Each structure stands twice: as structure tokens, then as C-alpha cells.
Chain A
Amino acid sequence: MITAGYICLAVDRVTVSTQTMISVLVYLSDAVTQLLEHKEEYTQFGVIRYFAEYFSSVKNSNHVLFREYNYIRATPHNRASFIRVFWRCYRQIGKSGDLLSMLEYRSLLQLLCPDFPVEVVQSTTRIVLMEDAIDCLMSFSDFLFAFQLQFYYQEFLDSVLVIYQDLLAGKSPNTVIVPTSTSIEQLPSVVAEENDKDGQQQDGVESSTLAQCIDALCDRFKHSHPSRSCMKEILHETDKVCYYSFLMNLAKHETINQTIGALPSKDELLIDPEMDQELDKLIAQISVSPSSNSSGSAVGGLKEVQRKASPRRNIHHRRKVESDGSTEETDSSEN
């Protein structure tokens, strides 16, 4: 409560966004919760050291691994961090060109976040496969960029879907959005048109109407949303648009990718010589043991997962560091 007071003060005085301050609150309370859940373990090194490790891992985006779903979606930073972790862990799949099904991607996500809900994976799959044939296989990069959009802008996309469905059903979306005067005037005609083409509903809705509704939605949306200009740009391209093709275009939009800032551009998605080297080393180690090649890459991915430190892990790591008195060698000794 006292924190909330200070935070309000901060919001008042500082030009930092409210969202950032809410994030700070999330991290402070999570840090304390984690501390209480692992009291004995963490207090050996001192509470201050614990907080230092916790916030450093948040800063370095290492904090979301193996955490519960509610935590990884709690702040924009957590979402971006999770997207990045997902990419870094399974990049190898994209490299090998494997196509995976929705359920397989779900399993991969659940390795990183045990209670990751299937609904988000389903929505992502609909973006990639345009709603039909949901059991088709998907390439890693298609899935990744769609997943990024779906996971990062979840709440916004849900609202857009409601608007879209209302428009499609010929209902006025006024219940969802605060209408501008122009949209009120235009809506009846749109609705009439829509009803005329009953059989062609798959064609989607009038792009300009959707654009207007989305614009109004952005005005009052408290969560983050993709940049308006990108959405306008995409909606201007066609007269009619359907929800999932709109989302697919958004997912592929480089500006949106840059805004989220978790992934490199699509061309550079699979380029990371440093990690390749590490993986080669790991695979070389594993291939000595009698396991097949395909499982080798999966284990490699997992090793990569374990190398990234969660706050909890950091403490273990720290202990190791302190016990042998060196700071830099620990990483290489782990390999």
C-alpha cells in the first residue's frame, strides 16, 4: 500500500508511463512473494543480494523461464522476454526447417511455462493457418511471429475480434466501442451491405469501418496496442478484410516486430553464430552418448534453457561462483 502511494507520487512527478510503474509494482510484489516461498534458500546470501539478483534477472530478461503463465504475461517486459526466450530456445527448429503441429508447439511452450494455456496456442495457429485446417503443420518463423503478436497484444486482439464479429453479424459494435459521430452515420449502410451479402461473410468486413472502430478502440484502450499507423496501412490495402488475414499482416509487419523489440527481423531470425558454436559444442558432447540426432537438437535446446538463469537459478549460480572464488569461469565450466 505504501508502495502504491510512492508509485502514484512517481507517476505524478515522473514522465515515466503508468504502465511502467505498474510493472515496477508487479516486480516488487513478485520479488517478495518469491522470497517468502524460498526463505531458507535465499536468505543465506542476504536479502539485499537476493533483490539485486532478482532485479538484475528482470533487467536481463532472464526472469520468465519456468515461471507460471500469470507471471509471464503480467507486464509487457515479461511478455517480450518470454517471446525472446521462446525464440532463443527453439531457434534450432527453424534452422532445421522442421514443420510442427499446434500441439507440438504447445508442448514446446509448456516446457518453458508449465501452465501455458492451449487457447493462446490455438489463437496463434488460427492466425498462421487463417482459421481453417487448424491441424496443419507450421514453420517455426510463421508460428513465432504470429505468436509474438497474439501473446503480446492479447487483450487488444480479443477486443478487435469482438468488434469484428459484431460487424460481421451486422450488429453495431457500439456496445464495444465509444462511437465517433461519423461511425454512427456510416454504420447502418455497412450493416445493410453486409446483410445483402449473406453468403459471402467469409470475405470479411469493410476495411474502412474496421479501421475506424479500431482507431476508437485505441483511444480508450488501457493496454498496449500495435501502432495505429501500421494497422491503418494494412487496412488501407484492401477494401474488405477478414480478421485473421488482418492479424497475419500485422504479425509480419516489421515495424510491429521492432516496437516489441524481442526478436530480430525475419531475415536475421536464424543467424546467431555465437549460439551456433555453443550448440555445436553441446551436440558434440551429446553425440558421444548413444542418442539419436534428432533428440540431440532437442536436448541442445533444453540445455540452452537451463543455462539461462531465472532468479532462483541465479542464486544457485551465485553459490557456485562464490564457492570456487571465480566469477567469469563458471559459464565455461558449465559447458
Chain B
Amino acid sequence: MMRRSLYVSCFPAGLKSLPLPLLRHGTSTAMADKEKRRPGVTPPGMSESKATKLDSDREFLSQAGVGELLRGAILKMVEARSDDPIGFLADHFCNLASESETGTAGCGDGDQLNNSPLSAGAQEQQHLNRALWHLRLAHHSQRSAFSNNVRVAYDLLNLTGPLRQPGEVPEGPDGSCTDSPTTEGGGGGGVKGGLYTQTLQCLCSEGGVPAATSAPLLQRLHCQDHEAVPYDVFRHGVLTCAVFSDYIRQAQRLYAEVCCPDEGPASRALCLAVLGTLKEALETSQGCDTNCCVNANTKANSCLEVNVNAIRYLEASAKISPYKLAQAMSGAQTRGPGGNMDAKEFENAAAELFITRVKVVS
């Protein structure tokens, strides 16, 4: 009965810009219409009490901050472009709830929490989980959303002292933060190396990359446990792992395409041809000095450089086009080494092509 009118009052803050009388008029007409259809209801008295109820409902919602809460959730949902918005909202609210529940607990006995080493560890784990949750929100191809999330994750992991509570972490969509320098004063002066490494490990394993495959990459991105990792390094590491996970999934799919499932492993000649094409494309895209994913993501390029890069990417994608691939494969079918290559070996070879192009973090 109240549904429609309540729906209008769902988002009180958002309606501030509308003249209130107009709004009231709209909803009460709708209600009156409905009431007419109900026998035995006296419209005038009812609509008055309804109007009072509407007011109290509106007050309740604004007091409870429901409008803000929902607006934040919807913005996150839009930003993340999830395929499953309901699942996303469920996770989002669960995450917020656990954050606010543990957040208040942390406020209550903050001193105890931070004094005992055990609970400090637990807190660190909690921060790590939350940071990972934020990193999962948006795919790395959605650049500004991803950058925002990396920033939020970095700030979360950077929380070490009791001075900053999770509630203070800037979470709103404050535009792309890629160029803003880290506010190192408030936090611990950088994410701990150990936490950074753990984050990267989790990202790779969540991305479906076997530990053995990601190990050489993590070796390159590794920071010492005691080091304070600056934001740029953190972002580079996270992005590289995200791209790497995608790349390995693609490589796995590529192998599945090359091999016929009924006939066992794919022929070595075919796999080598495919890997060769892949390598050539990667080399084309890489340019002379920087590695490919950093190249794709630092925004400090001059206009000319951007153009050159764009041309290189086009060339590279032409090199890995189905036509080129088919050409290489048909060539390999007639000549080339005999024998087979299994999925693992192919994956490792493909991973190596990628990893050699990742610069070593000092």
C-alpha cells in the first residue's frame, strides 16, 4: 500500500533539490488514487495520518543515513561494473557491516588491540582482507576505478598506528588518484614489504595462477619484509599481478584452443609456433626500454609518445591476429620438432615470456 510513496521517500538526501510541496503533492495523489480503490477507507483522515507517517519515515531514513549509505553503494556498484549487481551489493554491505562492527570494537578497546602482538597480527590480516576486497572490485582495464581501489587498498595497508581508524580511509570516488602523492604523514610511511608481498601472492592465487607459475614473477616484484613500500611500487606490483593473472588465463585458453581435447596433449611444433607468435607480438608492444604493462599504465607520456605507443600496440595486435596465428600454425604443422607439449609446459613458457619483460624491483 505504502510501497510507491515510500519508494519516493527512500532517498531523502537526493530529493533535497526538489521542492518539497511538489513532492508531497505527487505522493499523496498517488496514495489517494490507491485509496479510492479500497472499499471502506475514508480518504481524508487516512491521507493525513499517512502524511505524518511519511514525514516520520523520511526523518527516520535521514537519521539512519540510509540515503547516504545507498548512494555510496550504488556509486560503488556503478564503478565496479559488476556482472552481478545483486551479488556485488550483498558483498558490499557485508563488507561495510563487518568493517563498522569491527571498527567500533577497535575504537572501544583500541589500546589493548594495539598493545598485544597477536591482535596486531589479526588486525593486519583484517586490513589485508579488506584491501584485497577493494582490489577485486574493479577490473584493471577500468583504469580510474582500479586506481581508486588501489589507493584505498594502499591506505588501508598503510594503517599501522592507533591514530587512524578504518573509518577515516578515503573511500569515496574522489576521481582518479594516480597522480596524487601518498599522504605518508598520517600512516606508517608506506606499506610494509611483507604485507605487500602477501597482497601480491593473494592476487595471483585468486586470479587462478598456480603458485609455481607466479613465483618467478613475485621474485622480480619482491620487496624486503622490513622495507616501506612507496605507493608507486605498490601500484606497479598490484597492476602487474592483475595483468599477469589475466595473461595466464588467456595463455591457458590459448593452449586449450591449440590442443584437441580428445587427442591428448598438443603437438610441440604447434605450441612453439603459437608461443613464437606471442613472443613476437610482445616484443613489438614492448618498445625499447620500459616493460609493457608499466608502459600501458603510466600516464606521464607525452602526446607523441602516446601515439608511438598506440601504433606499437596496433602492430602487436596485428601480429597476434587469428590470421597470423593460423599462418604460423599451418607452417608449423608441416615442419618443426615432433612430440607433444603439455599444458603446464606451455603455461610456463608463456609465463616466462611475460616475466622476462617485468623489471626487477630493486
Query: Is A46 in contact with B86, judged by CB distance below 8 angstroms?
Result: no
Contact flags B66-90 to A (C-beta < 8 A → 1, else 0):
1001110111011001110111011
Query: Is A36 in contact with B86, judged by CB distance below 8 angstroms?
Result: no
Which residues of chain B come closer than 8 Å to A59, judged between CB atoms?
86-87, 90
Query: Is B71 in contact with A55, judged by CB distance below 8 angstroms?
Result: no
What is the total number of residues of chain B having a CB less than 8 Å from a CB of chain A?
40
CA–CA, A52 to B77, complex, Å? Answer: 14
CA–CA, A48 to B66, complex, Å? Answer: 9
| Interface flag for B15 (CB, 8 Å) | yes
Query: Is B97 in contact with A49, judged by CB distance below 8 angstroms?
Result: yes
| Interface flag for B6 (CB, 8 Å) | yes
CA–CA, A6 to B30, complex, Å? Answer: 24
| Interface flag for B146 (CB, 8 Å) | no
CA–CA, A59 to B85, complex, Å? Answer: 10
Interchain CB contact (< 8 A) of A29 among B3, B75, B96: B3
B98 to chain A, nearest CB (A): 8
Query: Is A2 in contact with B89, judged by CB distance below 8 angstroms?
Result: no
CA–CA, A14 to B70, complex, Å? Answer: 19
Query: Is A1 in contact with B8, judged by CB distance below 8 angstroms?
Result: yes
B329 to chain A, nearest CB (A): 32
Query: Is B77 in contact with A10, judged by CB distance below 8 angstroms?
Result: yes
CA–CA, A211 to B244, complex, Å? Answer: 49
| Interface flag for A244 (CB, 8 Å) | no
Which residues of chain B come closer than 8 Å to A3, judged between CB atoms?
10-11, 14, 70, 74
B1-51 CB contacts (< 8 Å) to partner A: 2-3, 6-8, 10-11, 13-15, 18
Interchain CB contact (< 8 A) of A48 among B57, B60, B93: B93
| Interface flag for A79 (CB, 8 Å) | no
A19-46 CB contacts (< 8 Å) to partner B: 20-21, 23-24, 27-29, 32-33, 35-37, 39, 43, 46
Query: Is A36 in contact with B57, judged by CB distance below 8 angstroms?
Result: yes
CA–CA, A47 to B64, complex, Å? Answer: 7
Contact flags A45-68 to B (C-beta < 8 A → 1, else 0):
011110110111011000000000
Which residues of chain A come closer than 8 Å to B61, judged between CB atoms?
32, 36
B83 to chain A, nearest CB (A): 7
Query: Is B93 in contact with A51, judged by CB distance below 8 angstroms?
Result: yes
Which residues of chain A come closer than 8 Å to B18, judged between CB atoms?
1
Query: Is B14 in contact with A56, judged by CB distance below 8 angstroms?
Result: no
A111 to chain B, nearest CB (A): 23
Say whether, besides A2-B14, A13-B78, A32-B61, A49 and B101 are in contact (CB < 8 Å).
Answer: yes
Query: Is A10 in contact with B93, judged by CB distance below 8 angstroms?
Result: no
CA–CA, A16 to B82, complex, Å? Answer: 8
Query: Is B85 in contact with A20, judged by CB distance below 8 angstroms?
Result: yes
| Interface flag for A9 (CB, 8 Å) | yes
| Interface flag for A77 (CB, 8 Å) | yes
Interchain CB contact (< 8 A) of A56 among B8, B71, B74, B94: B94
Which residues of chain B come closer than 8 Å to A48, judged between CB atoms?
69, 93, 96-97, 100
Which residues of chain A come closer than 8 Å to B77, judged between CB atoms?
10, 24
Which residues of chain B come closer than 8 Å to A54, judged between CB atoms?
93
CA–CA, A47 to B63, complex, Å? Answer: 11
A238 to chain B, nearest CB (A): 37
Which residues of chain A come closer than 8 Å to B14, judged between CB atoms?
1-3
A112 to chain B, nearest CB (A): 21
- The residue among A14, A54, A55 with the most chain B CB atoms within 10 A of its own CB is A55
Q: Interface residues of A: mostly helix, strand, loop or mixed?
A: helix
CA–CA, A49 to B66, complex, Å? Answer: 12
CA–CA, A32 to B3, complex, Å? Answer: 9
Interchain CB contact (< 8 A) of A52 among B7, B57, B86, B93: B93
| Interface flag for B287 (CB, 8 Å) | no
Which residues of chain A come closer than 8 Å to B6, judged between CB atoms?
29, 32-33, 36
| Interface flag for B337 (CB, 8 Å) | no
Query: Is B10 in contact with A28, judged by CB distance below 8 angstroms?
Result: yes
Which residues of chain B come closer than 8 Å to A29, judged between CB atoms?
3, 6-7, 10
Interchain CB contact (< 8 A) of B15 among A1, A16, A28, A47: A1
Which residues of chain B come closer than 8 Å to A9, judged between CB atoms?
78
Which residues of chain A come closer than 8 Å to B69, judged between CB atoms?
47-48, 51
**9 more CB-based (< 8 A) A-B contacts, given A9-B78, A52-B96:** A3-B14, A13-B78, A14-B81, A24-B89, A43-B64, A52-B90, A52-B94, A55-B86, A55-B93
| Interface flag for B210 (CB, 8 Å) | no
Query: Is A10 in contact with B78, judged by CB distance below 8 angstroms?
Result: yes
Which residues of chain B come closer than 8 Å to A52, judged between CB atoms?
90, 93-94, 96-97
A207 to chain B, nearest CB (A): 37
Which residues of chain A come closer than 8 Å to B94, judged between CB atoms?
52, 55-56
| Interface flag for B110 (CB, 8 Å) | no
| Interface flag for B121 (CB, 8 Å) | no
Which residues of chain B come closer than 8 Å to A58, judged between CB atoms?
86, 90
CA–CA, A106 to B61, complex, Å? Answer: 38
Which residues of chain B come closer than 8 Å to A15, judged between CB atoms?
81
Which residues of chain B come closer than 8 Å to A33, judged between CB atoms?
2-3, 6-7
Interchain CB contact (< 8 A) of A55 among B10, B74, B82, B89: B89
| Interface flag for A7 (CB, 8 Å) | yes
Which residues of chain B come closer than 8 Å to A16, judged between CB atoms?
81-83, 85
Query: Is B74 in contact with A6, judged by CB distance below 8 angstroms?
Result: yes
Say whether, besides A36-B61, A58-B90, A2 and B15 are in contact (CB < 8 Å).
Answer: yes
**Can you pick out 5 interface pairs between chain A and chain B where the beta carbons lie within 8 Å of each other?**
A1-B8, A3-B10, A6-B74, A33-B3, A59-B90
B250 to chain A, nearest CB (A): 20
Q: Which residue of A lies closest to B14 (CB)?
A: A2
Interchain CB contact (< 8 A) of B66 among A14, A27, A32: A32
- The residue among A3, A13, A29, A36 with the most chain B CB atoms within 10 A of its own CB is A36
CA–CA, A3 to B85, complex, Å? Answer: 14
Say whether, besides A2-B11, A35-B66, A36-B6, A77 and B86 are in contact (CB < 8 Å).
Answer: yes
